[in-house]
Amino acid sequence: MTAATHSPLFSQVPDSADAVLEGLDPEQREVATSLRGPVCVLAGAGTGKTRAITHRIAYGVRAGILQPSSVLAVTFTNRAAGEMRGRLRQLGAPGVQARTFHSAALRQLQYFWPKAVGGSLPRLVDRKIQLVADAAAACRIHLDRGELRDVTAEIEWSKVTQTVPADYALAAAKAGRESPRDPAEIAQLYSVYEDLKRDRSVIDFEDVLLLTVGILQSRQDIAEQVRAQYQHFVVDEYQDVSPLQQRLLELWLGERDSLCVVGDASQTIYSFTGATPDHLLDFRARHPGATVVKLVRDYRSTPQVVHLANGLLAQASGRAADHRLELVSQRAPGPEPVYTEYTDEPAEAEGAARRIHDLIASGVPASAIAVLFRTNAQSETYEQALADAGVPYQLRGAERFFDRPEVRKAGIALRAAARFGGNDSLLDDAVDLPSQVRAVLSGEGWTSQPPAGSGAVRERWESLAALVSLAQDFAAARPGATLGDLVAELDERAGAQHAPTVQGVTLASLHSAKGLEWDAVFLVGVAEGMIPITYARTDEQIEEERRLLYVGVTRAREQLYVSWSLSRSPGGRPSRRPSRFLDGLRPGSAALAARAQAAGAGGVERGFTAPAAGVGSAPRRTRRVPARCRVCGRTLTDAGEMKLMRCEDCPSDMDEGLYERLREWRAEQARLSGQPAFCVFTDKTLMAIAEASPDDDRELARIPGVGTRKLNRYGADVLAICAGGRPGEEEGAD
């Protein structure tokens, strides 16, 4: 996938402990040399936190202060853990364990289960959604695909927050969660889901942590054995720790304080999974003697990008905002962010594709460009626009590089050539390692020129081209390296999921882009109803959306393009407006204070009421205004025409595709409820929805035929369909 840094791919191993410290700034050096007691590193975006903590571990190991096998570094994704292992290997500390919380816990669980429980560990299920469906069937509760996903997310949240089924309703209310079903129903489904797991002798992803915690809590001898093994802990992305992960960390530590945590409260964007920055923000209260180091020198982004990022956080509120870090760019000035307004979404996608095409033509590698959006449903429009412009792209979160069929086949071919290359006529004219790799991969479909167009053929070529490029870098860094050496390097990289760079523009959701960076970033769909997303209503939810946009902005090294569209479809009503988060920051926008005053507290837009006649006077009766056609102005009297707000004969600006999707959804709802389709919504109401294409609850509620009851029951589905997604679809942790 996309390379995350500009660091050399095959750097030389430092020849001493002091050499490990070379090139670190004063704050990073403080992190690296603070090897005793608790340490809290508050690291802003682009400030080199991974560099600081890997050099800290490597310095401790190379100086003989830390034993490699006694260090456990934990983070949240396999990619991040793999990158950490790769960096430690380059720094001369290859024996350190760098894992995700779940990976570390699973290893311990597999090892200690026979001793603690007896027998073999129950099978781990990859996907729990089928079990949730079986639980729903046992409870005689029908869940559609969207509801299945939502209920599964609620079960996951309950488990990482250590909430049992009986306490779900109270805990969800206290946390301000909007349950996708009646809380009592979810509690019942959760309870039956747990029963089914026991009956089938299986465990799920969260059970790995829960069972490890249970064993360490109940078996002091096992806890002491783990603590004897691991004596020094480093936790990356500490703002994303859940209560369950924090409890596991405490059990690993015992009474010791050899702990280094790294995080940034301003990048907390996974609270829906149970993550909370409280553990990071309360670290010094729990460890009064802790060393706290703040990293604010931004080496990633230009001053112009950093200025926008700081401006976003300056307008924030809440506890995380109180601890925000003011970034200071260390780079030369670059271009100002570009803000563009488009008439509709296809025009926005085409505009981005044109600019990307021009950037590539000017010399910017396609792999150094990304298009970031709020929801995965937005991806398709940009895929099509880039394909039409002849621009190669890759989807972030798609199949992992080393799992791709063409990469696996290429690995087999390279391994065979390394063993029996002397008998392979393909290698007769290959004089060095890169030419050997090109010769072998030519038999797998690689050519010196990329195939025309996009699609599967182009994607396969891009994968093989990435291996050719990797071989060139490897040979340049290690003169005299053989094909066997390269195969060993590929095996190590596959184990660490440290993929080479693929030459294609990255398409990714904002959530899945965290931890990555590109030279040029296109933030698209930055409009009200999308950022912040429609269902973000509380102060905390609005602020998390702001932090999500902050994460998107700070992915850009040099060039940042921010755009939005006034309507969803060509010819649609231009009712959208730019995100409130850009107020006071983009040229020509009003200051935030005025915007906040108009919107009301907590980002909740208030309805307008007529001024009172006097103190204590009765409310004035509102004069009923006759309904008029929005096209020709004629007074409407027919109920159907009043729903459409136009004469039957006047031209319609209805989105035909949206209307058909709404009709299909309505038919399914009618089938599920056993009632006629018109009881869900009449044809006229569906037509009115397709013409208005509402962006939020307020706009949907204005449409005649959508009352409070139907808004509560069907509103989320309808808005999802209007947004181009599927009923119940929302963004997860990509």
State yes or no: 588 annotated in a binding site: no
State yes or no: 725 annotated in a binding site: no
**E strand spans, 267-384:** 291-295, 297-298, 328-329, 338-344, 369-373
Name the DSSP class of 384.
H
State yes or no: 43 annotated in a binding site: yes
State yes or no: 47 annotated in a binding site: yes
How far apart are alpha carbons 71 and 229 in whole angstroms?
8
How far apart are alpha carbons 379 and 548 in whole angstroms?
17
Q: Which two tokens stand for residue 36?
A: 């005793």
16: region left, alpha or beta (phi > 0 left; psi from -120 to 50 alpha): beta
Say if CB 647 and CB 631 are below 8 A apart: yes
State yes or no: 169 annotated in a binding site: no
Q: How, if at all, do strands 518-523 and 556-567 pair?
A: parallel
State yes or no: 50 annotated in a binding site: yes
Say if CB 420 and CB 413 are below 8 A apart: no
State yes or no: 48 annotated in a binding site: yes
Tell me the CA distances in angstroms from 423 to 82, 416, 418, 435, 538, one per residue in order. Answer: 36, 11, 11, 16, 69
3-class state of residue 679 by DSSP? helix
Tell me the CA distances in angstroms from 65 to 35, 57, 411, 505, 550, one per residue in order. Answer: 8, 10, 39, 44, 38
State yes or no: 44 annotated in a binding site: yes
Say if CB 687 and CB 656 are below 8 A apart: no
**For residue 156, how many other CB atoms are within 10 A of its CB?**
18
Name the DSSP class of 47.
S
Longest dimension (CA), the chain: 100
> SS in 3 state form for 105-147?
HHHHHHHHHHHHCCCCCCEECCCCHHHHHHHHHHHCCCCCHHH
Say if CB 590 and CB 583 are below 8 A apart: yes
Feature table: binding site:
43-50
Feature table: binding site for ATP:
43-50
